[in-house]
Structure 1
Amino acid sequence: MINQSERIRSMDTLRSIAILMVLLAHTVLGFGAPAGLAPIQLGGMGVDLFFVLSGWLLGGQLFKEMEQGQINIRRFWVRRWFRTLPAYYAVLFFTIGQQVFTKDDPAIPWQFFVFVQNYNYPLEIFSVSWSLAVEEQFYLFVAPFLAITIYLSPNLRLCVLVVLFLLPTFFRYMGWYETTAETHVRLDGCLMGVMLASIKYQQQWIWRLLVRYSGSIALTATVFCVLFFYQRWFPLSWLGDPGFLVRSLMFGAWVVYANSGGFARWYLYFPGSYYIATRSYAIYLLHPDAIAITNRLPLDLSFFPYMMVVFIISVIASELLYRIVEMPFMKLRSKTRMAH
C-alpha cells in the first residue's frame, strides 16, 4: 500500500474524475436517460481515462524494473491479482447468489471467472465487468511483452509501442470485432499509458518536451472534452463524439500534465480526491447495485436527489468492500513472498 504522503495528489484527482464520470453516466441511464440528461452519458468515457491511468501506473512499475535489468513477470501478476481479484470475485459471487435466489434456472456464468465475458457482450449480469476483463487481459500481456523487449533499444521499443497503440484503431477500421468491448479494439488507453511511461523513463528528451508544453496541451484537451459534452446538447457540425483514439490522446495529455512538476502534482487536487480515488475500484464494482437499490426505493425523486442517493449508497457499499476485502488482501500482499 502506498502511504498517503507518497501519493501523487494529481493522480488521485484523475482517478476521482474517472469514477465520477462513470458514476454520473450510469446514474443518468438508471434514471431513464431523459432527453435533457442523456448527453451526460458520454461520461462513460471515464472508463477510457481509467485505462490510460492503468497503463501509466503499470508501465511505470515495469520500466523501473527494466532499468534494473530484469522484469519479474510472476511478481507483477501476483501483485495485480492480489489487488484486483478478491473484490471482483466477492462481487461476482454476490451477483451469482442474487441470480440463484431470483431466477428459476440460473446459468453459471463461467466466462466471468476467466475474464473473457467481454467477448460475449452484452452482458445480462455484472455489466460493468467487461472493462475489468480488458484490464486483466492487459495484465497478462504487458509484463511478458516488455520482458521480451528488454534487449531492444529504447527507440525501437517505443516504435513497437506506437504500432501496438495504433493497432486497435486499425482493427476497428477493418471491422474485425463484434462489439467495442472486445480487448483487441479497446486497448488504446492502456497502451497510451504504457507509451507515456516508456517516454518518461527511457526517452527523457521527449518527456521534457512534453512537460514543457503540457499545460497548453492539457488545456486544449480539456476544452475539447467540454465541447464533446456541449455538442450533445447543441450539435456542432464539425465535432461529434470522440473516438477511442481521440479519448486516449486527450486523457494522455491529462496524465502528462498531472506528472509534469510540483505545482501540477500537488495542486491539481480537490478535497475528497484521495478518499474517492482509493475507493474507486469498489465504487466501480458496486455502483450498478446502488442504482438498482435506489430504483426500488418508494421515492419519487428528481434527478439531483436521485443522484445523491445513488452516490451515498455507492460510497457506503464501497467502504464496506474496501475495508472487508480490499484492505486485508493488500496487507496480505505486502507479506507474501511471491509479491516481493
Structure 2
Amino acid sequence: MNKNRIIGLDILRSVAILLVLYSHLRIYCFEYNLYKIRIDGVSVFFVLSGFLIGNILIEKIRTNKLNILHFLIFRWTKTLPSYFVILFLILIYYIVTKQDFSAFNYKYVIFIQNFYTSHPSFFKEAWSLSIEEWMYIFLPLVLILNNFFKIDKLKYFISVFLFFVFISIILRITYYELGIYSSLKEEFRKIILFRFDSIIFGFLVSIFYIYFHNFWKKFSLLSLFLGLICILSIELKLWNYPPLYFTLESIAILFLLPYLSNKDFLPPKTLNYLFYFISKISYSLYLINLSFMQIIFIPFFLKYFSFIVPNNNFILYYYLIFTFFFAILLHYFIEIPFLRLRHKLN
C-alpha cells in the first residue's frame, strides 16, 4: 500500500462506490425491503474528484507549471481505456444478440450524449463520465486565462468556481420552474450543464486546503459535524426542492473532507487495506456493475447456470461476487497497464 495515500479519502471513495453498488443491487433483493439511501454515491465521487484534481490544477497554475495537454493525457490514460473497453463489449453484445442499440451514436465517443438533454438508455452509467470529462476540459482552459489578466490568482479561482456553481444552479431552477424538467433522478441528476457545480464544490474546498491549511485543520471536527448534520437532513427528507437537492448534497460531502483528509485519521490496519483495495478498483467497479452485469452477464449466467442458483437470493450473491471479479480483471489488465504507460510518459 502506498504510504502517501490518505486513508480517509480511500474510505470516502470506497463509500461512494458501495453506495452506487447498493443502489443497483436492490433489484436482486427479492425478499428484503432495503432502506433507500438518499445520498448519491456519484455525487460523492464528483466532490472528491473535484477536490483531488483541484489540488493538482491550482498548485500547477500557482507555480506556472500547468500544461493542459499533459494534464488531459494524465487524466485520460486513467479514464478512457477502461471506458472504451466496456463500451465496446456492450456494443458487441447488442449487435450479436440483435437488440436495439439505436440510442448509441458518436456522442458516446466524445461524451456529449447528455450535454443538455437526458442521458439515453444505452450504457446508462456513462452519464457521470461525460460530466467529469467536460468539466476537466473546460476548467483548465478557463483557469489558465488568468495568465492573461493582472488579477490575483486566489480571487480569480474563487470567481471562476462560483460562476460555474451559479450557472448550474440557475439552469436547474429555471428548467424546473418552467416545467421543462422535473425528474430529479433522470434529468437534473444526469445532464452535464446541470451538474458542473457538484465537481466545482470539490474545487472550492481545495482552495481552503491549499491557501488556508491551518484553518482547514483547526476546524476539521466542526466541519465533520456540519457534514453529518447535512447528511441527516437529506436522509430525513428535510430538503426536497429538486433544483437545490444536489447543492446540499455536495455541501454535505465537502464538509467531510477536512477531517477525512487528515493523515492522522487512521482506522484499524485491516480496514485500511480493505478500503485501499476497494478504492483502487472503484472506477472498474463503477463501469462493470450496471450495464455489463445486469444486461449481459447475469442474464447469461441465469440462462446457462441456473442449476447453481437454488433460489432468487443467490442472484444477489453471484452479482456481487462476479462484479468484483470482473472489476479486478478490468483494473489489473486495462487500468494498471495504462497507468504504467502514463508514468513512462511523465
**TM (normalized to structure 1)?**
0.85
Partners of 2:200 and 2:75 in 1: CA distance: 17
Partner of 1:184 in structure 2?
193
1:247 aligns with 2:249: yes
Q: 1:35 deviation in Å?
A: 9.0
Partner of 2:293 in structure 1?
290
Partner of 2:84 in structure 1?
89
1:328 aligns with 2:334: no
Partner of 1:222 in structure 2?
228
Partner of 1:161 in structure 2?
161
Partner residue of 1:63 out of 58, 67, 78: 58
Tell me whether 101-110 or 178-187 shows the greater mean CA deviation.
Answer: 101-110
Q: Which runs of 5+ in 2 are unaligned?
A: 182-186
Letter of the structure 1 residue corresponding to residue 214 of structure 2: R
Tell me whether 210-219 or 278-287 shows the greater mean CA deviation.
Answer: 210-219
Partner residue of 1:211 out of 193, 209, 217: 217
| Inter-CA distance 326–156: structure 2 relative to 1 (3 Å threshold) | closer
Partners of 1:213 and 1:104 in 2: CA distance: 55
Letter of the structure 2 residue corresponding to residue 327 of structure 1: I
The answer (yes or no) to whether the contact 2:146–2:156 under 8 Å persists in 1 is no
1:115 aligns with 2:111: yes
Q: 1:159 deviation in Å?
A: 3.1
Partner residue of 1:196 out of 205, 221, 229: 205
The answer (yes or no) to whether the contact 2:101–2:122 under 8 Å persists in 1 is no
Aligned residues: 319
Q: 1:60 deviation in Å?
A: 0.7
| Inter-CA distance 220–106: structure 2 relative to 1 (3 Å threshold) | closer
Q: 1:239 deviation in Å?
A: 4.6
Partner of 2:46 in structure 1?
51
| Inter-CA distance 109–217: structure 2 relative to 1 (3 Å threshold) | same
Q: 1:21 deviation in Å?
A: 0.4
| Inter-CA distance 159–267: structure 2 relative to 1 (3 Å threshold) | farther
The answer (yes or no) to whether the contact 1:30–1:291 under 8 Å persists in 2 is no
Partners of 1:59 and 1:83 in 2: CA distance: 17
Q: 1:167 deviation in Å?
A: 2.3
Q: 1:334 deviation in Å?
A: 1.2
| Inter-CA distance 121–211: structure 2 relative to 1 (3 Å threshold) | same
Partners of 1:262 and 1:268 in 2: CA distance: 14
Partner of 2:283 in structure 1?
281
Letter of the structure 1 residue corresponding to residue 144 of structure 2: A
Partner residue of 1:149 out of 146, 149, 164: 146
Partners of 1:227 and 1:301 in 2: CA distance: 35
The answer (yes or no) to whether the contact 1:91–1:285 under 8 Å persists in 2 is yes
Partners of 1:38 and 1:262 in 2: CA distance: 33
Partners of 1:123 and 1:26 in 2: CA distance: 18
Partners of 2:129 and 2:329 in 1: CA distance: 20
Q: Which runs of 5+ in 1 are unaligned?
A: none
CA-based RMSD: 2.5
Partner of 2:264 in structure 1?
263
Tell me whether 157-166 or 282-291 shows the greater mean CA deviation.
Answer: 157-166
Letter of the structure 2 residue corresponding to residue 209 of structure 1: F
**TM (normalized to structure 2)?**
0.84
Letter of the structure 1 residue corresponding to residue 193 of structure 2: H
| Inter-CA distance 215–159: structure 2 relative to 1 (3 Å threshold) | same
Partner of 1:129 in structure 2?
126
